[in-house]
Amino acid sequence: MAISAPQKKTAGRRGRSAPGLIFGDLWQYDPAPETADPKLKPRYDLFIDGEFVAPRGGKYFDTINPANEQKLAKIALAGAADVDAAYRAAHRAYEKVWSRTSGRERAKYLFRIARLLQDRAREFAVAETMDGGKPIKESRDFDVPMCAAHFFYHAGWADKLEYVAAGRRVAPLGVVGQVIPWNFPLLMLAWKIAPALAMGNCVVLKPAETTSITALKFAEILQDAGLPPGVVNFVTGAGATGAAVMAHPLAAKVAFTGSTEVGKIIMRSLAGSGKKMTMELGGKAANIVFDDAPLDQAVEGIVNGIFFNQGHVCCAGSRLLVHEPVADAVLAKLKNRIKVLRVGDPLDKNTDLGAINSKDQLEKIRELVDSGVKEGAELYQPPCRLPEKGFYFRPTLFSDVTMSHRIAREEIFGPVLSILTFRTVDEAVEKANNTAFGLSAGVWTDKGSRILKMSTELKAGVIWANTFNKFDPASPFGGYKESGFGREGGRQGLLDYAKLT
Ligand code: NAP
Ligand code: MG
């Protein structure tokens, strides 16, 4: 096992050095920070009944920028009375306005929301990056455009709901309670709100404690779009606020995205309540590379699959299963590739890996990586220098991993790849399925027949072939086993917000 020491800082092309990362023998890029103004307010209140309102308990908490640990804003802490006010507003809006608004009219609101977000795309991308730590090139090129795409897609459905379930009639459920995590704050909000509104439901949503800002900026867009008050409400806070959102008696359905651990707590607490539920939980995806795969393309896919968004991705390809004949070649190529990943300032347009979302998450990653070393797996990290302030973790490879290692079984939710090998197709399937999760998988091979066999036998909600982490609003997303149930996106996602008659 060899952990290389950070290399000495070398001069940049014009005698300057980029802040953050230095990578040995390669030239450096000049800093290229994104400069758009994120238009942050010093304080964000709750968004209830179309207005920003102070929390009844008068409490606020700080949200920080994980890239430099600086405070960005104060966020309202919603208590049970605030959550109740949000539900009452949503229920009123549902009874008096939204359930009487035609699909054609609802579509216009969704379309307007998508257009307004596009108008402010750069500002939202910067805010998302500052609050959550993801590289600007991801928030700018993926999160914000995908968020708009989900609203456009569902605008298209709102006046065509008679085609969602052939031969059946669909109706809204009423008020839905939604709780989302910090890894894709805006995108998870879009996955939840767009189908709910298209189907005619009203919403109470809680964003994650560390990443509430873009939801509250999104509330400004809802106001500008003229969405009737109460149709969407945002309550911010920590786990207790989330629990109040899930438990409220006015919620006809709850939709949760987050960890399997919290998902189980919610399911237990709601057992017998009659509420409809969808759960999008954790994952431990296998990316499976056969010896006939285009290896360079596969390496790009593997890197994208686990280092994209610092590995803060539920469907991240966190296990690599590689065919033995090409295992050494793939490992060598991966090491070369991750040596040139740029880790550092998330606002820099050249940054590949930004900041880990929080100190707690960084501790969790460290703890699991330590367990991998202790349990005897071989660790490789490139010699990159990390910024002194903020929460960062080097891209990390573990080879010689066995199925009994914790790093092969538990969700790390960080930029850490565990590499295992296999000899036969059956062994690959067995190892890939030998997990409590079942959210996604990837297959890399030249043979169409093998792709079909693997996608039939793998127990995962999404299976990518010769690509990874590709999303489309028309494509349903969701898990098997401990990765949850229900689907988001596509016709199937809409059905999860509908009563069928
Ligand atoms: P988490 O700890 O489960 O938190 C998710 C959300 O639940 C947060 O808003 C959290 O509030 C809230 N919460 C905490 N305790 C709660 C309770 N008892 N009742 C109701 N809500 C509660 O998960 P995370 O660490 O933020 O997110 C990472 C996890 O999300 C990973 O496991 C990942 O795989 C999963 N994920 C899954 C998908 C998918 O589609 N399957 C997508 C993205 C992420 P606070 O933020 O204030 O703690
Ligand atoms: Mg933050």
Q: At what angle do helices 103-119 and 185-199 cross, to 10 degrees?
A: 160
pLDDT digits (tens, 9 = 90+) for 71-81: 999 999 999 99
Give the phi and the psi of residue 99 in degrees, each rounded to 5. Answer: -70, -15
* Average pLDDT of the segment spanning 72-94: 98
Atom of ligand 1 nearest to the CA of 211: 46
Residue spans of alpha helices (H) in 159-259: 185-199, 213-224, 239-247
Q: Is 474 strand, coil or helix?
A: coil
pLDDT at 10: 38
Ligand 1 centroid–CA 114 distance in Å is 25
* CA geometry: angle 187, 188, 189, nearest 5 deg: 90
Ligand nearest to the CA of 357: 2
Q: What mean pLDDT do residues 179-192 have? A: 98
Average pLDDT over residues 104-119: 98
Report the pLDDT value the prediction gives residue 27, as an integer from 0 to 100: 65
Ligand nearest the Cα atom of residue 411 = 1
Residue of 183, 205, 462 with the most ligand 1 atoms within 8 Å of its CB, for mutation: 183
Distance in angstroms (rounded) separating the CA atoms of residues 322 and 288:
6
pLDDT at 5 over 90: no
One-letter amino acid for residue 346 of the chain: P
- CB distance 28 to 45 below 8 Å: no
- Ligand 1 centroid–CA 259 distance in Å is 5
pLDDT tier at 473, thresholds 50, 70, 90: very high
Q: According to the model, what pLDDT value does residue 30 have?
A: 87
Amino acid letter, residue 289: V
Distance CA 436, CA 484 (A): 11
- Place 9 in a pLDDT band, splitting at 50, 70 and 90: very low
* pLDDT for 421: 98
Ligand sitting nearest the alpha carbon of 77: 1
Among 77, 180, 314, the mutation site with the greatest number of ligand 1 atoms within 8 A of its Cβ is 314
* pLDDT tens profile 248-277: 999 999 999 999 999 999 999 999 999 999
Q: Does residue 3 surpass a pLDDT of 50?
A: no
C-alpha to C-alpha distance for 450 and 448, rounded to whole angstroms: 5
Burial readout 335-373 (b: 16 or more C-beta within 10 A, e: otherwise)? eebbbebbbbbbbbebbbbbbbbbeebbebbeebbeebe
Using alpha carbons, list the distances in angstroms from residue 401 to 198, 327, 337, 374, 408. Answer: 46, 13, 20, 12, 7
SS3 281: coil
Confidence band for 501, pLDDT divided at 50, 70 and 90: confident
Q: pLDDT band for position 11 (50/70/90)?
A: very low
What gap in Å lies between CA 75 and CA 95, rounded to an integer? 30
Whether residue 428 has pLDDT greater than 50: yes
Residue 24 has pLDDT above 70, yes or no: no
What is the predicted pLDDT for the residue at 26? 57
C-alpha closest to that of 408 among 362, 441, 377, 374:
377
3-state SS class at 344:
coil
DSSP state of 348: B
**What's residue 6's pLDDT?**
38
Catalytic residue among 34, 280, 410, 411: 280
The average confidence (pLDDT) of the chain is 94
Of the candidates 314, 315, 384, 488, the residue annotated as catalytic is 314
For residue 7, the model assigns a pLDDT of 39
Closest CA to 87 of 4, 190, 174: 174
What average pLDDT does the segment 305-312 reach? Answer: 95
**Chain segment 240-252, per-residue pLDDT in tens:** 999 999 999 999 9
Predicted confidence (pLDDT) per residue in 444-469, tens digit: 999 999 999 999 999 999 999 999 99
Helices (H), ranges, 120-143 = 121-132, 136-138
Say how far apart CA 327 and CA 316 lie, in whole Å: 20
Tokens of 416: 């850490």
Share of the chain above pLDDT 90, in %: 93
319 band by pLDDT with thresholds 50, 70 and 90: very high
Percent above pLDDT 70 for the chain: 95
Q: Looking at ligand 1, which atom is closest to the CA of residue 263?
A: 3
* Gyration radius from the chain CA atoms: 23
Distance from C-alpha of 190 to C-alpha of 204, rounded to nearest angstrom: 13
Question: What residue's CA is closest to ligand 1, atom 31?
Answer: 259
Q: How far apart are CA 310 and CA 239, in angstroms?
A: 23
Under a CB-based contact definition with an 8 Å cutoff, are residues 170 and 495 in contact?
yes
Nearest alpha-carbon partner for 194 in 122, 312, 274, 109: 109
Q: Is the per-residue pLDDT at 223 higher than 60?
A: yes
What's the mean pLDDT in 274-296? 97
Q: How many CA atoms lie within 13 A of 282 on its CB side?
A: 18
- Whether the per-residue pLDDT at 23 is higher than 90: the answer is no
Cβ proximity of 353 and 307 under 8 Å: yes
Residue 280 designated active-site: yes
Whether residue 69 lies in the annotated active site:
no
With 80 as the cut, is the pLDDT of residue 19 above it?
no
Question: Which of 254, 257, 310, when mutated, tests ligand 1's pocket best, judged by the most ligand atoms within 8 Å of its CB?
Answer: 257
pTM across the whole model: 0.94
Closest C-alpha to ligand 1, atom 35: 258
Residue 80 tokens, joined: 């049970």
Element (H, E) at 368: helix 359-374
Query: Strands 498-500 and 170-172: what pairing?
Result: antiparallel
For ligand 1, residues with CB inside 6 Å are 179-183, 206, 208-209, 238-239, 242-243, 246, 257-259, 262, 265-266, 280-283, 314, 411, 413, 439, 479, 483-484
Q: Select from 239, 282, 283 the least CA-distant residue to 261.
A: 282
CA of 488 to the centre of ligand 1 (A): 16
CA distance linking residue 302 with residue 429, whole number of Å: 18
- Calculate how far, in angstroms, residue 34's C-alpha sits from the geometric centre of ligand 2: 18
User: Whose CA is closest to atom 19 on ligand 1?
Assistant: 243
Domains present along the chain, CATH in parentheses: 43-63+70-280+480-500 (3.40.605.10), 286-465 (3.40.309.10)
